Amino acid sequence: MNLVYEPKKIIDVSKSQATFKRALNCIPAGIYGHLGPSEGCMVPVSSYPLYMDHAQGAYIWDIDGNRIIDYMCGYGPNYLGYNDPDVDAAAAAQRKKGDCTTLISDITVEFAEEVCSTINMADWAFFAKNGNDVTQFAMMIARAYTGRKKMVLTKGWYHGVSPWTQKLGYSGIVEEDVCNNLYIEWNHPEQFEALCKQYDGQIAGFISQPYQHGNFCDNELPAPGYWQKIREICDKYGVVLIIDDVRAGFRIDIKGSDYHYGIKSDLSCFCKAIANGYNVSVLCGNKKLLNATSDVAYTGSYWLSAVPFAAGIATLRKAKALNATEENAKKGKKLTDGLKEIAKDNGFDLRVTGEPGMFYLRLANDLPSRVIHQDWVCECVKRGVFFTSHHNHFINYALSDEDIQYTWEVADEAYKVVRERYPQAEFIK
Ligand SMILES: Cc1ncc(COP(=O)(O)O)c(C=O)c1O
């Protein structure tokens, strides 16, 4: 690719780093969970901007004043662009009327109707706050409906932080938390059928992301016929089929990822993109599970607050009007096609996996330590383009062609820097 550009400025992150030092004294891990460095995706931590001052569209301005093109989108919620004016106006109007009140707003029903007319499999919608709230609820409904205990998960899963979704050996997790779980490999429906035979009458639910979008590995799409086979096995053995669309929802198909891959789930979990960053998650279900769902005790202080519902309605309506999901996928394809070409021009083999609106990057001709890719990501971040090394990325609708062009220039410069740094790497010669 023919790129002509001025060398990029290296951002100063000293205020972020000083704030992080303060945080380490008063907040566990400084920044806990996926937004902080503890998951190993920010190497070295000392080079990363860690705190924002404000955000708009495709950008974050950090507290050192740097503008950063953000390809992590808050790890999923930014779908139309940060502070989308239509979504924010709908939320502000509802805030004036009331948010967390004893009598709930009738906007709750309007949001449920909007969700059910958008998501293909949905006969009803239940609202909570985080993705974990609805994956946990889905598991409980599967148990309530079937009167069975066991759950089948696919390797590479992430369904939140409820103990049953975590792994034995993780801090705070004991055998009893995970003793009803069974595991299969991604794209191996025959393993699922074998478990259904072995544990006939004991498996309540099958829970899975619509495609394998795990961390630290290439992401994998379903093989042709995979989801149809899983649906058939669930029907044959009376197992509730749960799609965890918390991350991929609205990134592949606005009607739901199960619809995109040609099936209807029994339960689908949504969060992240559904209200463009306002805090709401949604469990959608089919009619047969309605009574069992009504029977399960499940609620939270803020789950029926009205402001996020107004934001959710505005997000879904705007996304449909703009074809945002398809447009984001086109932007993702354009960006990553260019990145692959730029990598190749510099002697690197960049692999892009997953769906285009939610792509995963890996350098195939890295050193075994994966250090070159990590360094390349860091050199991009230092020039104001926020990628991360071992997690999928996200595209938002506000990302422009100029942003993509800028990203390509940064990617090129960053590849040149790491080429110099690793002259011993075999492929560079
Ligand atoms: C596929 C998937 N399921 C569940 C969750 C949990 O969502 P939350 O962090 O909002 O509880 C996530 C969060 O990243 C996710 O990606």
> For 215-231, how does the pLDDT look when each residue is reduced to its tens digit (9 = 90+)?
999 999 999 999 999 99
Whole-angstrom distance between the N-terminal and C-terminal Cα of the chain?
A: 20
pLDDT surpassing 80 at residue 426: no
Any atom of ligand 1 within 6 Å of the Cβ of 160? yes
Give the pLDDT confidence of 304-339 residue by residue, as tens digits.
Answer: 999 999 999 999 999 999 999 999 999 999 999 999
Which protein residue has the closest C-alpha to ligand 1 atom 16? 247
Asked if residue 363 has pLDDT above 60, the reply is: yes
Task: List Cβ neighbours of 119 (8 Å cut-off, separation of 6 or more).
Answer: 125, 255, 256, 259, 268, 270, 284
Reading the block at residue 185, the tokens are: 């490999």
Amino acid at 281: S
Q: In what order do the strands lie in the sheet with 385-386?
A: 52-56, 59-62, 67-70, 385-386
Q: Examine the pLDDT at 114 and tell me if it is beyond 70.
A: yes
Output DSSP code: residue 278.
S
Q: Which of 8, 23, 7 is nearest to 63 (CA)?
A: 23
Looking at the DSSP bridge assignments, the partners of residue 128 are 281
Query: In the structure, what pLDDT confidence band is assigned to residue 5 with cuts at 50, 70 and 90?
Result: very high
Helix (H, G, I), strand (E, B) or coil at 186: coil
Give the start-to-end residue ranges of the domains of the chain.
Answer: 14-70+324-428, 85-322
Whether 198 shows a pLDDT value over 60: the answer reads yes
In ligand 1, the atom with minimum distance to the C-alpha of 33 is 9
Closest CA to ligand 1's atom 5: 160
CB 56 within 8 A of CB 396: no
Give the CATH number of domain 85-322; options: 2.60.120.960, 3.40.640.10, 3.40.1410.10, 2.40.50.140.
3.40.640.10
For residue 241, list its beta bridge partners. Answer: 206
User: Of ligand 1's atoms, which has the minimum distance to the CA of residue 135?
Assistant: 4
Q: In the predicted model, is pLDDT for residue 85 greater than 90? A: yes
Instruction: Please indicate whether residue 66, judged by its CB atom, sits closer than 6 Å to ligand 1.
Output: no
Nearest atom of ligand 1 to the alpha carbon of 130: 10
pLDDT at 130 over 80: yes
Report the distance separating Cα 253 and Cα 193, nearest Å. 28
Position 423 pLDDT exceeds 90: no
Q: Is 204 helix (H, G, I), strand (E, B) or coil?
A: strand
Q: How many CB atoms lie within 10 A of CB 30?
A: 18
Region class of 160: left (phi > 0), else alpha (psi between -120 and 50), else beta? left
The pLDDT of 294-303, averaged and rounded, is 97
Question: Given this model, what pLDDT does residue 82 score?
Answer: 98
Residue 396 Cβ contacting ligand 1 at under 6 Å: no
Mutate to test the pocket of ligand 1, among 153, 258, 271, 393 (most ligand atoms within 8 A of CB): 271
Q: Measure Cα distances from 39 to 42, 58, 169, 250, 412 in Å.
A: 8, 24, 16, 25, 27
244 pocket-lining for ligand 1 (C-beta < 6 Å): yes
How many whole angstroms from 345 Cα to the centroid of ligand 1?
36
The residue to mutate among 35, 78, 132, 358, having the most atoms of ligand 1 within 8 angstroms of its beta carbon, is: 132
Q: Regarding beta strands 203-208 and 52-56, do their DSSP bridges make them parallel or antiparallel, or are they unpaired?
A: unpaired
CB of 219 sitting under 6 A from ligand 1: no
pLDDT of residue 427: 67
Give the residue, 273 or 1, on which the prediction is more confident: 273
Q: What is the mean pLDDT of residues 130-156?
A: 98
Q: Confirm or reject: Cβ of 131 under 6 Å from ligand 1.
A: yes
* 14-70+324-428 under CATH 3.90.1150.10, yes or no: yes
Alpha-helical regions (H) of 251-361: 257-260, 290-295, 306-322, 324-345
Q: How far is the CA of 96 from the centre of ligand 1 (A)?
A: 30
Q: Is the pLDDT of residue 214 over 90?
A: yes
- Which tokens in the block code for residue 72? 């992590």
pLDDT for position 429: 52
The distance of Cα 277 from the centroid of its chain, to the nearest Å, equals 12
Tell me, in angstroms, the distance from the centre of ligand 1 to residue 101's CA: 27
> Ligand 1 mean position to 225 CA, how many Å?
26
Q: Given ligand 1 and candidates 247, 270, 279, 391, which is best to mutate, with the most ligand atoms within 8 Å of its CB?
A: 247
Q: Which atom of ligand 1 is nearest to the CA of 248?
A: 1
* Average of per-residue pLDDT values in the chain: 97
Residues 240-259: what's their mean pLDDT? Answer: 98
158 CB near ligand 1 (under 6 Å): yes
Residue 55 · residue 376 · CB < 8 Å: no
pLDDT attached to residue 38? 84
Sequence letter at residue 355: E
For 384-415, write each residue's pLDDT tens digit: 999 999 999 999 999 999 999 999 999 999 99
Query: What secondary structure does DSSP assign to 98-154, as a single string?
Result: -SS-SSPPTHHHHHHHHHHHHSTT-SEEEEESSHHHHHHHHHHHHHHHH---EEEEE
Regarding the beta carbon of 157 and ligand 1, being less than 6 Å apart is answered: no
